[in-house]
Amino acid sequence: MLLLCCMALLDARWKLFLFARPWAAAAVLALGTAYFLVWDVAAIAAGIFLHRESPLMTGIMIGPQLPLEEAFFLLFLCYQTMILFTGAVRLWHHRGTLRRKGEQS
pLDDT digits (tens, 9 = 90+) for 33-50: 999 999 999 999 999 998
The total number of structural domains in the chain stands at: 1
pLDDT value of residue 96: 85
Helix and strand numbers (H, E) in the chain are 3, 2
Among 87, 81, 28, 37, smallest CA distance to 63 is for 37
pTM equals 0.90
pLDDT value of residue 105: 61
pLDDT value of residue 102: 78
Report, as ranges of residue numbers, the positions in the chain whose pLDDT lies below 50.
none
pLDDT value of residue 11: 97
pLDDT value of residue 97: 83
Range of the domain at 36: 2-104
